[in-house]
Amino acid sequence: MTPNQKTISEAFIDARQAGAGLRDYPGQLPATLADAYAIQDQSISRWPDRVDGWKIGLVPPEFRGPVGAERLVGPIFANLIRDHAIGQVHDMPVFADGFAAVEAEFIFVLGKPVPVGTKITPELTRDVAGRLHVGVEIASSPFPGINDLGPICVVTDFGNNFGLIVGPEIADWQSRSWADLPARVVINGDEVGATTASALPGGPIGALEFILRLMQERGIALDAGSHISTGAVTGVHQAKVGDTSRVSFGEFGEIELGLSPLRSDWLGLPAGQRAAVRPTGS
């Protein structure tokens, strides 16, 4: 861990734990995705919660050549995952002085563990995939320019994740066409995106195979029950505190939510103890 990597990790951890914004990127942007993932690993080790899932994000086309990747990942912590009940309206806190967005997602809940050393194949991916749910990712970061600086920046701040709503299960997903799984996002009454699961390269299963391979490279095992959020299928829809959203998945249900400002005491920890707390697991 270089001094620059340590500075970046500590700044994002401290800002997230305090519910505060960061006006500028806290250090020199790393040169490679590998360097960015090293920062992410360090930050995970310092966060006072266990990793209960992972989000996948598509790298914008203009960045794919320079960083050598089509997708990126970030951790989702257990206390940021919420199960949805029919009729429930979710209050989702975000960084008021940072970045926030609402994203329609298709979410796998792994049916089997994937230990380090597993040979990843398309057949293995389908075997471990488990259940598929509809849901919503809340992307939020203390740094408002997180997406402007690109995927390396995103990776250094937990992949820009700050919440996952897990909606209804899609029964018999294996026998359905991705084109038959719709998603539509409305913010403040205006439609901002509509498509189907086929908009993800390779569909959600292609995203799952990607993350299984990446985790093998990173030496990270995945437990059965891990939530894998496969990507913002209709796009990343920037929003702000006070906005309301309805994310619809046709016959598979819809999820309503509102964005509220994150309180500085959201972790329930005294300010002087936040950064020192060790994780309960990973």
pLDDT in tens, 10-45: 999 999 999 999 999 999 999 999 999 999 999 999
Q: Is the pLDDT of residue 121 over 60?
A: yes
- Other Cβ atoms less than 10 A from the Cβ of 115: the count is 10
pLDDT in tens, 133-148: 999 999 999 999 999 9
Amino acid letter, residue 185? V
Query: Which pLDDT score, from 0 to 100, does residue 267 have?
Result: 86
Give the Cα separation of 125 and 205 in Å (integer).
7
Q: What is the pTM (predicted TM-score) of this model? A: 0.94
Per-residue pLDDT averaged across 224-243, rounded?
98
What percent of the chain shows pLDDT beyond 90? Answer: 93
Give the Cα separation of 122 and 162 in Å (integer).
30
For 204, the token pair is: 């959600």
Helices (H), the chain: 3-18, 33-46, 61-67, 122-128, 151-156, 203-218
pLDDT in tens, 86-96: 999 999 999 99
Give the Cα separation of 260 and 273 in Å (integer).
25
End-to-end CA distance of the chain: give it in Å, rounded: 19
**Band (207; pLDDT cuts 50, 70, 90):** very high
Distance of CA 225 to the CA centre of its chain: 16
The phi and psi torsions of 247 (rounded to 5 degrees) equal -115, 120
Q: Are the beta carbons of 193 and 234 closer than 8 angstroms?
A: yes
Amino acid letter, residue 11? A
In whole numbers, what is the pLDDT of the chain averaged over residues? 94
> Any idea where the domains of the chain sit in the sequence?
3-263
pLDDT in tens, 150-165: 999 999 999 999 999 9
Q: Is the pLDDT of residue 275 over 60?
A: no
Q: Is the pLDDT of residue 282 over 70?
A: no
Of the candidates 137, 134, 133, 115, the one whose C-alpha atom is nearest the C-alpha of residue 124 is 115
DSSP 213-239: HHHHHHT--B-TT-EEE---TT--EE-
pLDDT in tens, 246-264: 999 999 999 999 999 999 8
Classify residue 171 by burial, with Cβ atoms within 10 Å: 0-12, 13-18, 19+.
Answer: exposed
Give the Cα separation of 118 and 184 in Å (integer).
36
- CATH architecture entry for 3-263: Alpha-Beta Complex (3.90)
Q: Is the pLDDT of residue 277 over 70?
A: no
**Band (1; pLDDT cuts 50, 70, 90):** confident
Query: Which pLDDT score, from 0 to 100, does residue 269 have?
Result: 55
Give the Cα separation of 207 and 201 in Å (integer).
7
For 118, the token pair is: 């597993």
Per-residue pLDDT averaged across 44-60, rounded?
96
